[in-house]
């Protein structure tokens, strides 16, 4: 079984009216809102069979961006959110900053739901500064490195799993290999986008854009500037294809062989297969050696807003959906990589393979990557917006010829504006 593309690929109808009502047949109606593909469709029917007094009304939005804009609009309005509301990890910091508007699942959830259900870092990222549990973890996106074997060989680089380990063992070796590749290939880019690389490096730092007192530390955190200098220097040496992630040009870049490596959360394998097409089957490979150690990109939580009229029942549904057994079913249905320890140890994960990527045992590989992720980096309010609306545009400016020094100031100023 292979992973399939997740959030970016599915378009579905948008719902969103608040539920929490008693249906005409006397059942409690629970509404649940998600985005992309969570793999829950069959699980809703199963839950209703197990709980005859519950009727589930799901609302699914295809794209995560519009979904979260609507979520925060309804949160601010004080009405309209569903009983169970999914939140993507990139938006979790903004939810945690408004944790008073969400129920503490440790208080209202079933007694048998304990922290050891999840990987430590996933569980901790669902709690606010006071320890209140805002979200039950669903899936994750452990990072590996994807690369084009045929392009590596043509440029004179090793392409076998053992050979590439030295290339990917650190960010220094990764960028050094990029210089070799650009020279050996006659100018083909090493990676797709500077912001994709910078984001992965940024998430590996012990402290990100904010400290735990919510002070913006972008100028006083030497790790951020070091990452910036490394990435922008690589851009100036011709290593970036300068493509905006998930744009039409980025999609075409896979088919056009515009770059040789790609930071790869587990769900990205499906995106690559979709965009690169069958003509590149077997040319892409994935390595479990990732520069700087492990990392995570993506994954979500199920929350219960205080707007819910049936918070206890909503928490029970969220707890059931995030049980290991259910998350394995979601993985088999849509490739949502589970965050539950028991699910990661299951035969279903160990036996998963991916023929497009040369028959690699991708389940086993990404389970190992999930365990490499260290403690959860604290995300202050606006953290995701800084990455998306300040860091990415500043890095794109470098890719378009602006100096790294000028663009660094653009990032600093943009972050300060968002953090106000």
End-to-end Cα distance, the chain: 47
Average pLDDT over the chain, rounded to whole? 92
CA distance 291 to 271: 21
Structure tokens at 124: 């901790």
State the pLDDT confidence band at 22, using cuts at 50, 70 and 90: low
Give the tens place of pLDDT for each residue, 123-139: 999 999 899 999 999 99
The least confident of 188-192, 302-306, 330-334, 403-407 is 330-334
pLDDT at 112: 93
Q: For residue 241, what pLDDT band results from cuts at 50, 70 and 90?
A: very high
Give the mean pLDDT of 44-63: 95
pLDDT at 23: 66
Condensed to tens digits (0 to 9), the pLDDT of residues 322-334 reads 999 999 999 988 8
- Distances in whole angstroms, Cα of residue 144 to Cα of each of 122, 195, 322, 419: 18, 17, 24, 31
Q: Is the pLDDT assigned to residue 279 strictly greater than 60?
A: yes
- Put residue 224 in one of left, alpha, beta given phi > 0 → left and psi -120 to 50 → alpha: alpha
Check: CB of residue 265 under 8 Å from CB of residue 143: yes
Rounded to whole angstroms, the Cα distance separating 169 from 292 reads 7
**Structural Rg of the chain based on CA atoms:** 21
Query: Would you place residue 6 in the very low, low, confident or very high pLDDT band (cuts 50, 70, 90)?
Result: very low
* Mean pLDDT computed over 229-246: 97
**Between the CA of residue 231 and those of 143, 207, 297, 327, what are the distances in Å?**
18, 19, 18, 36
This prediction's pTM: 0.87
Contacts 24+ apart (CB under 8 A), 400-403: 400/242
Each residue of 381-407: pLDDT tens digit? 888 889 989 999 999 999 999 999 999
**Residue 21 pLDDT class (50, 70, 90 cuts):** low
Classify residue 378 by its DSSP letter.
Answer: P
């Amino acid at each position: 079984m292979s992973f399939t593309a997740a959030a970016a690929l599915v378009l579905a109808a948008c719902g969103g009216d608040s539920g929490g009502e008693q249906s005409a047949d006397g059942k409690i109606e629970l509404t649940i809102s998600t985005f992309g593909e969570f793999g829950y469709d069959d699980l809703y029917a199963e839950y209703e069979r197990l709980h005859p007094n519950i009727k589930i009304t799901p609302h699914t939005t295809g794209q995560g961006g519009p979904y979260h804009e609507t979520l925060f609009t309804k949160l601010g309005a004080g009405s309209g959110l569903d009983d169970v509301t999914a939140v993507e990890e990139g938006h979790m910091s903004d939810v945690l900053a408004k944790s008073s508007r969400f129920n503490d699942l440790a208080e209202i959830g079933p007694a048998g739901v304990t922290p050891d259900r999840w990987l430590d870092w996933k569980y901790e990222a669902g709690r606010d500064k006071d320890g209140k549990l805002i979200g039950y973890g669903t899936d994750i996106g452990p990072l590996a490195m994807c690369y084009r074997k045929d392009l590596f060989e043509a440029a004179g680089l090793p392409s076998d799993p053992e050979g590439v380990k030295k290339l990917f063992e650190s960010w220094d070796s990764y960028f050094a290999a990029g210089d070799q590749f650009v020279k050996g290939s006659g100018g083909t880019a090493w990676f797709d986008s500077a912001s994709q690389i910078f984001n992965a490096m940024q998430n590996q730092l012990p402290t990100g854009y904010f400290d735990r007192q919510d002070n913006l530390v972008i100028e006083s955190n030497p790790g951020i500037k070091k990452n910036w200098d490394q990435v922008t220097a690589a851009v100036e040496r011709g290593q970036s294809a300068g493509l905006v992630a998930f744009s039409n040009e980025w999609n075409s870049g896979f088919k056009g062989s515009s770059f040789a490596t790609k930071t790869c959360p587990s769900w990205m394998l499906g995106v690559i297969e979709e965009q690169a097409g069958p003509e590149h089957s077997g040319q892409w490979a994935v390595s479990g050696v990732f520069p700087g150690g492990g990392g995570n990109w993506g994954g979500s939580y199920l929350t219960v807003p205080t707007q819910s009229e049936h918070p206890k029942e909503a928490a029970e549904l969220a707890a059931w959906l995030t049980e290991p057994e259910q998350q394995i079913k979601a993985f088999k249905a849509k490739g949502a990589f589970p965050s539950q320890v028991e699910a990661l140890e299951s035969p279903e994960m160990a036996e998963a393979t991916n023929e497009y990527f040369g028959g690699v045992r991708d389940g086993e590989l990404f389970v190992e990557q999930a365990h490499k992720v260290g403690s959860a980096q604290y995300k202050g309010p606006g953290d995701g917006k800084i990455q998306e609306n300040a860091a990415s545009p500043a890095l794109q400016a470098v890719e378009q010829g602006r100096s790294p020094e000028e663009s660094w100031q653009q990032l600093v100023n943009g972050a300060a504006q968002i953090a106000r």
